[in-house]
């Protein structure tokens, strides 16, 4: 008799199907171990003298071979499992029987042999079984037992493996309701802004907490920035290789996030990386390569058009024209600066993964190389990473393991003003100076450096090394009771190098200027948990976790700047030879968090579900009188579909009602904010420089948490064996004790102090619809999600409004306002009212400055009717950065071995403050302008939209520069082919897949800028939705290969 190796679960399945007495014996707690070796328990052949040989292949609906599938000859004890190539062989008493094919995650199938000796059998996925278990904080739960709002991110194979992504946050975009993802810049390696159910804080952090293989991380890009560079910030999460990720879960309501207490208010994203599986020893290689190009360029004046515009500005300012008609005619088209600065850039990715294991040891080892050059010259991102995940069953009671990853990221960042200069450099300025045969240094019309020279010659480099390690030991104390201890560390070392040589405008002005900086961050974690799981009398299910955690982080950085170097030969390494140096910057901070946590899940008859969660956090960030916070939550759910009166309705396969309430916190306020602070100041005493210290911040020992109270109600529906599923959630969040600077008595020596005084609310709806439209050889699945969030400021500690500091551009100060009764992120300015056409209009209509206003200048609405245009009286809300709703549609098609996935993603109802448009409609004649100024006002062209050209022109923020940021985008399109199992067997492969993909292929939008998905100020909530000199987004085309041995 042939030996047969089966997992105990498969053996149980077989015996259960056969209804043998062995099933009862095998499931008994008194089963002797010798039973598993009893020859009669399971047979792969027959005792007949003339057996019939039957062979076959088991594949998935996509044509991939399935190893470990159980194949049983119905009505007998004959069975086997498929090998790694999906092949099986059986000896049967006859060919007139039925095979029962079963595999975890797939629908069981019965196949009539009917005289055949070789079969090819395709199994369909059991969507319900595949989704059965989800990751939650400090454990796992069956999806049917969830009481909170937890979303599992689908299509990770498409969003992370088959489309270029420097970091995994992009996988959250468009596929899950309630999550807004905004790519702030097209610079490779930069961050995305993530908002889960809106922003809760005004001055604190609004990004979610990320938990990577159990290690909690807040994505603060400042942790890898020393302040030495100019340009977009590099994303700290880009050090994590997206190809290593197995699953992503998003915790949204208080029932799910309260287990993370003071860090759960903004939502929690759980990242689980790939681990080895028993009996699956695989070597996999994945690669793709492609090209990237700008989605569109902005229309600006060519050389003759700009020369005429320059003449108009001079003449309207009382000066003679610069260009004669003959000179204009001979200019040609001039320099197309966008064409010179942007390029078609390559991207490539290579991933080698080795996974496998047996009953005692499981392993996953991966190495990755990712190289993405930017569409702007000399910009790019390169990552080397490796990962080792190990799990070892030391004894029946003890299991240990580790998750280790190391990475090195090198980024060449486009200089911060490069895009702005690309847009504003006049087309009459030559790229190459004919006198030097090198790049033209600057514009002759103003203080604008040659952007191409800046991109090519400036060093603006970031190098980040990261090691993230988490070790665990898990011991089964008794039946159902397990203790777990984890020890982890996250170490980040960052180096930044910056230098402007003399052949750039900035370098020429300073005789070479540069900076170097370093940042070193260590983060230590210890978590200790007890987990208890028990089913009593078959109807009472208990699942409880208790824990104590300790986390401590330290950050230390330094930056040094200098200028006036003897030459450029050494670049930033020669800063020690500079004759002019700045005062070095030094920073150091530490924080500690101690926590006690607990959660109890109780289920009665698998119908009535209850969850209680609590966490107490003690943080060093807060005042001496307010170090500890307590964050509880409660949730109830009813599995209505388990009731008898619903089970009789066959069309309904799932119906669950759930509700939750709870409190979570936000500790992202920076360190030492509760303490008094002294700052250094320089003074001159007796012709000598002296340094003293003076108070700069008043202490607040009562400074505490920002606390979010959240209510959630949800409904989960499934029809036709879950071929149609629908989820809807309604939520209300109220965040109190916001940290705001409030006026204090001037007798204290200060004007303001940081206090817990403000309140903000968010309320919204989320919808998710999944359908399996067709199954079989041709399958078509659709997922549609839609969400809306309404944000409102309820209280500002006695103030009605305030203008946030910062965010000013081009001498336009305070472009946003925070006001009670309205959402955060509102743009504040004037409403335009056409163009002054005559001198009589200027006399009779309100003006900003009647003395200097001329026909052809812009008019504004007199909001208060006082006959004047003033900042205090006539500015109003002119736009809102937060969208009215967002959503996405994913369609997945497969036919035999071909598949196609299409993701459409979009937002609606948000505004963008287009500062690029402010620049390109500045009619002074000192810089490039938009083609809209071809329609500028002149006496013969009385435009009512575009003002006249004139050298002195004041800039006023108005609704002219606020644009609709709504868009619908063809986000991802992937077409692939999987080699059939029959061919895979011949070449001894488990999988071979080829595909082509496109990303950001087309965007439907009214926005006139490069791309509507933009935010100059990155993770800021107060200044979101501003576009000014941002690195543009791009479209990508790739081709890829996935192969497994």
Q: Per residue in 223-248, pLDDT tens?
A: 788 889 998 888 999 999 999 999 99
- Quick one: pLDDT band at residue 412, thresholds 50, 70, 90? very high
Q: Indicate whether 62 pLDDT > 80.
A: no
Give ∠ CA 700-703-704 in degrees, rounded to 5.
Answer: 170
Report how far apart, in Å, the C-alpha atoms of 798 and of each of 456, 511, 526, 758, 826 are: 52, 52, 42, 9, 20
Tell me the C-alpha distance between 102 and 7, whole Å: 13
Q: What mean pLDDT is reported for the chain?
A: 89
Question: Where do the CATH 2.170.130.10 domains begin and end in the chain?
Answer: 129-273
Residue 600, token pair as written in the block: 């109890």
pLDDT at 712: 97
Residue 560, token pair as written in the block: 């040094």
DSSP code string of 884-903: SEEEEEEEEEEETTEEEEEE
Counting beta carbons within 10 angstroms of the beta carbon of residue 604, is it exposed (0 to 12), middle (13 to 18) or buried (19 or more)? exposed
What are the b/e assignments for 25-37, b being 16+ CB within 10 Å?
A: ebeeeeeeeeeee
Tell me the H-state helices in 465-557.
Answer: 505-510
Tell me the C-alpha distance between 492 and 466, whole Å: 5
Task: Name residues whose C-beta falls within 8 Å of residue 222's C-beta, 6 or more positions apart in sequence.
Answer: 233
Query: Which residue has 């999906």 as its token pair?
Result: 86
Question: Where do the CATH 2.60.40.1120 domains begin and end in the chain?
Answer: 8-125
Tell me the C-alpha distance between 1039 and 315, whole Å: 56
- Quick one: pLDDT band at residue 383, thresholds 50, 70, 90? very high
Tell me the C-alpha distance between 601 and 543, whole Å: 5
pLDDT at 499: 97
Residue whose C-alpha is closest to residue 212's, from 266, 170, 160, 274? 274
Residue 589, token pair as written in the block: 């901070």
Residue 642, token pair as written in the block: 């388990």
Tell me the C-alpha distance between 1003 and 996, whole Å: 20
Residue 809, token pair as written in the block: 């551009």
Counting beta carbons within 10 angstroms of the beta carbon of residue 412, is it exposed (0 to 12), middle (13 to 18) or buried (19 or more)? buried
Residue whose C-alpha is closest to residue 913's, from 1023, 791, 793, 790? 1023
Tell me the H-state helices in 585-724.
Answer: 644-647
- Quick one: pLDDT band at residue 922, thresholds 50, 70, 90? very high
The DSSP output letter for 916 is: H
CB 827 within 8 A of CB 815: yes
pLDDT at 52: 82
- Quick one: pLDDT band at residue 785, thresholds 50, 70, 90? very high
Among 464-473, 519-528, 808-817, 1012-1021, which stretch is predicted with the lowest mean pLDDT? 808-817
- Quick one: pLDDT band at residue 129, thresholds 50, 70, 90? low
Tell me the C-alpha distance between 119 and 982, whole Å: 11
Tell me the C-alpha distance between 157 and 462, whole Å: 30
Query: Which residue has 């039925």 as its token pair?
Result: 98
Mean pLDDT of 48-53: 68
Residue whose C-alpha is closest to residue 168's, from 116, 100, 246? 246
pLDDT at 133: 80
Counting beta carbons within 10 angstroms of the beta carbon of residue 966, is it exposed (0 to 12), middle (13 to 18) or buried (19 or more)? buried
Q: Indicate whether 817 pLDDT > 50.
A: yes
Residue whose C-alpha is closest to residue 674's, from 704, 696, 635, 648? 704
Please name the CATH architecture into which domain 8-125 falls. Answer: Sandwich (2.60)
CB 480 within 8 A of CB 533: yes
Q: Per residue in 313-334, pLDDT tens?
A: 999 999 999 999 999 999 999 9
Tell me the C-alpha distance between 1000 and 1003, whole Å: 7
Tell me the C-alpha distance between 170 and 179, whole Å: 11
Mean pLDDT of 105-114: 84
Residue 48, token pair as written in the block: 């007949």
Tell me the C-alpha distance between 556 and 558, whole Å: 7
Please determine, looking at this structure, whether the domain spanning 129-273 carries the CATH number 3.40.50.2300. no
Query: Given its phi and psi angles, is residue 47 left (phi above 0), alpha (psi -120 to 50 degrees) or beta?
Result: alpha
Tell me the C-alpha distance between 835 and 948, whole Å: 9
Q: Indicate whether 19 pLDDT > 70.
A: no
Tell me the C-alpha distance between 234 and 228, whole Å: 12
Tell me the H-state helices in 205-329.
Answer: 254-257, 303-316, 325-329
Overall residue count recorded for the chain in this entry:
1045
Q: Indicate whether 128 pLDDT > 80.
A: no
Query: Which residue has 């200028």 as its token pair?
Result: 563
The share of the chain scoring above pLDDT 70, in percent, equals 93
Task: Name residues whose C-beta falls within 8 Å of residue 477's C-beta, 6 or more positions apart in sequence.
Answer: 397, 483
Task: Name residues whose C-beta falls within 8 Å of residue 479's C-beta, 6 or more positions apart in sequence.
Answer: 534
Mean pLDDT of 122-141: 77
Q: Indicate whether 26 pLDDT > 60.
A: no
CB 591 within 8 A of CB 619: yes
Counting beta carbons within 10 angstroms of the beta carbon of residue 896, is it exposed (0 to 12), middle (13 to 18) or buried (19 or more)? middle
Tell me the C-alpha distance between 42 and 40, whole Å: 6
Mean pLDDT of 593-603: 96
Mean pLDDT of 774-785: 93
Tell me the C-alpha distance between 851 and 838, whole Å: 14
Tell me the C-alpha distance between 496 and 494, whole Å: 7
CB 207 within 8 A of CB 224: no
Q: Indicate whether 632 pLDDT > 80.
A: yes
If one counts every other C-beta atom within 10 angstroms of the C-beta of residue 789, the result is 24
Mean pLDDT of 345-359: 94
Residue 557, token pair as written in the block: 């950085």
Q: Indicate whether 997 pLDDT > 80.
A: yes
CB 533 within 8 A of CB 602: no
pLDDT at 3: 35
If one counts every other C-beta atom within 10 angstroms of the C-beta of residue 275, the result is 17
Beta bridge partners of 603: 541, 609
Q: Per residue in 526-579, pLDDT tens?
A: 999 999 999 888 889 999 999 999 999 999 999 999 999 999 999 999 999 999
3-state secondary structure of 227: coil
Q: Which helix (H) or strand (E) holds 120?
A: strand 118-123
**pTM (predicted TM-score):** 0.87
- Please state whether beta strands 540-563 and 513-536 pair in parallel, antiparallel, or not at all (unpaired): antiparallel
pLDDT at 1013: 93
Tell me the C-alpha distance between 807 and 825, whole Å: 11
Residue 510, token pair as written in the block: 């300073």
Q: Per residue in 244-257, pLDDT tens?
A: 999 999 999 999 99
């Amino acid at each position: 008799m042939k030996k047969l190796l089966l997992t105990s679960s498969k053996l149980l399945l077989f015996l259960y199907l056969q209804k043998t007495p062995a099933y009862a014996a095998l499931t008994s707690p008194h089963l002797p171990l010798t039973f598993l070796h009893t020859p009669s328990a399971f047979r792969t052949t027959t005792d007949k003298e003339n057996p019939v040989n039957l062979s076959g292949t088991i594949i998935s609906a996509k044509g991939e071979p399935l190893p470990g599938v159980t194949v049983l000859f119905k009505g007998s004890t004959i069975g086997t499992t498929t090998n790694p190539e999906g092949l099986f062989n059986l000896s049967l008493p006859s060919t007139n029987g039925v095979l029962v094919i079963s595999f975890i995650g797939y629908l069981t199938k019965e196949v009539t042999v009917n005289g055949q000796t070789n079969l090819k059998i395709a199994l369909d996925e059991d969507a319900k079984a595949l989704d059965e278990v989800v990751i939650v904080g400090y454990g796992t739960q069956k999806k049917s037992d969830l009481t909170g709002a937890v979303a599992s991110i689908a299509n990770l194979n498409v969003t992370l493996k088959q489309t270029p992504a420097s970091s995994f946050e992009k996988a959250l975009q468009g596929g899950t309701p309630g999550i807004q993802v905004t790519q702030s810049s097209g610079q490779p390696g930069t961050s995305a802004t993530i908002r889960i159910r809106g922003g809760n804080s005004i001055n604190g952090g609004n990004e979610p907490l990320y938990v990577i293989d159990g290690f909690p991380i807040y994505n603060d890009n400042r942790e890898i920035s020393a302040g030495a560079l100019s340009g977009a910030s590099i994303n700290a999460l880009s050090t994590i290789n997206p190809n290593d990720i197995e699953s992503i879960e998003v915790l949204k309501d208080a029932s799910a996030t309260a287990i993370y207490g003071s860090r759960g208010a903004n939502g929690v994203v759980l990242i689980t990386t790939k681990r080895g599986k028993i009996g699956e020893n695989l070597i996999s290689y994945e690669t793709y390569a492609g090209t990237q190009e700008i989605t569109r360029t902005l229309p600006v004046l060519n050389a003759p058009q700009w020369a005429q515009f320059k003449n108009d500005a001079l003449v309207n300012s009382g000066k003679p024209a610069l260009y004669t008609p003959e000179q204009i005619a001979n200019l040609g088209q001039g320099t197309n600066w966008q064409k010179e600065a942007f390029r078609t850039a390559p991207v490539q990715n290579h991933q080698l993964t080795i996974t496998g294991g047996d009953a005692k040891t499981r392993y996953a080892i991966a190495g990755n190389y990712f190289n993405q050059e930017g569409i702007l010259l000399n910009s790019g991102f390169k990552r080397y990473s490796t990962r080792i995940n190990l799990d070892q069953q030391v004894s029946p009671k003890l299991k240990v393991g580790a998750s280790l990853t190391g990475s090195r990221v090198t980024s060449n960042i486009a200089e911060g003003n490069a895009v702005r200069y690309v847009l504003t450099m006049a087309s009459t300025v030559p790229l190459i100076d004919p006198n030097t045969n090198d790049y033209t240094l600057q514009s002759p019309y103003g203080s604008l450096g040659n952007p191409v020279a800046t991109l090519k010659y400036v060093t603006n480099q970031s190098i980040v090394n990261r090691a993230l390690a988490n070790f665990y030991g898990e011991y089964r104390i008794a039946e159902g009771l397990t203790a777990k201890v984890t020890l982890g560390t996250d170490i980040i070392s960052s180096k930044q190098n910056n230098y402007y040589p003399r052949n750039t405008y900035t370098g020429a002005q300073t005789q070479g200027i540069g900076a170097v900086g370093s940042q070193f961050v260590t983060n230590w974690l210890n978590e200790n948990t007890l987990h208890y799981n028990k089913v009593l009398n078959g109807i009472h299910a208990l699942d409880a976790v208790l824990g104590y955690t300790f986390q401590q982080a330290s950050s230390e950085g330094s930056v040094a700047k200098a200028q006036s170097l003897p030459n450029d030969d050494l670049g930033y390494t020669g800063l020690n030879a500079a004759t002019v140096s700045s005062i070095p910057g030094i920073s150091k901070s530490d924080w500690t968090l101690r926590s006690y946590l607990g959660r109890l899940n109780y289920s009665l008859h698998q119908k009535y579900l209850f969850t209680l969660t609590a966490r107490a956090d003690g943080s060093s960030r807060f005042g001496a009188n307010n170090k500890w916070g307590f964050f509880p939550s409660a949730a109830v759910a009813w599995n209505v579909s388990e009731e008898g009166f619903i089970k009789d309705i066959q069309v309904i396969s799932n119906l669950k009602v759930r509700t939750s309430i709870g409190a979570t916190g936000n500790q992202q306020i920076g360190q030492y904010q509760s303490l008094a602070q002294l700052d250094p100041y320089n003074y001159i005493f007796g012709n000598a420089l002296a340094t003293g210290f003076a108070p700069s911040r008043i202490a607040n020992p009562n400074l505490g948490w920002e606390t979010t109270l959240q209510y959630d109600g949800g409904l989960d529906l499934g029809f036709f064996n879950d071929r149609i599923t629908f989820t809807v959630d309604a939520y209300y969040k109220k965040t109190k004790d916001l940290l705001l600077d409030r006026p204090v008595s001037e007798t204290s020596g200060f004007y303001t102090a940081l206090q817990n005084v403000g309140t903000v609310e968010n309320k919204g709806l989320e919808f998710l619809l999944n359908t399996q439209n067709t199954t079989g050889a041709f399958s078509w699945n659709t997922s549609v999600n839609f969400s809306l969030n309404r944000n409102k400021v309820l209280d500002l500690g006695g103030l009605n409004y305030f203008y946030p500091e910062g965010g000013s551009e081009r001498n336009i100060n305070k472009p946003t306002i925070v006001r009670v009764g309205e959402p955060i992120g509102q743009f504040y300015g004037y409403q335009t009212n056409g163009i002054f056409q005559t001198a009589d209009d200027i006399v009779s209509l309100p003006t900003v400055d009647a003395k200097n206003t001329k026909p052809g200048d812009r008019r504004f609405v007199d909001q208060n009717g006082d006959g004047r245009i003033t900042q205090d009286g006539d500015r109003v809300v002119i736009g809102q950065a937060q969208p009215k709703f967002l959503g996405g549609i994913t369609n997945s098609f497969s036919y035999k071995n071909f598949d196609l996935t299409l993701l459409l993603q979009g937002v609606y109802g948000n505004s963008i403050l287009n500062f690029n448009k402010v620049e390109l409609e500045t009619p002074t004649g000192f810089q490039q302008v938009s083609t809209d100024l071809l329609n500028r006002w002149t006496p013969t062209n009385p435009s009512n939209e575009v003002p006249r050209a004139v050298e002195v022109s004041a800039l006023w923020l108005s609704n002219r520069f606020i644009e609709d940021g709504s868009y619908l985008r063809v986000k991802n399109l992937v077409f692939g082919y999987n080699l059939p199992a029959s061919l895979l067997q011949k070449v001894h492969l488990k999988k071979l897949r080829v595909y082509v993909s496109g990303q950001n292929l087309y965007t439907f939008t009214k926005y006139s800028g490069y791309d509507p998905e933009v935010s100059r100020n990155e993770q800021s909530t107060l200044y979101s939705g501003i576009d000014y000199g941002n690195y543009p987004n791009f479209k990508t085309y790739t081709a890829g290969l996935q192969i497994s041995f």
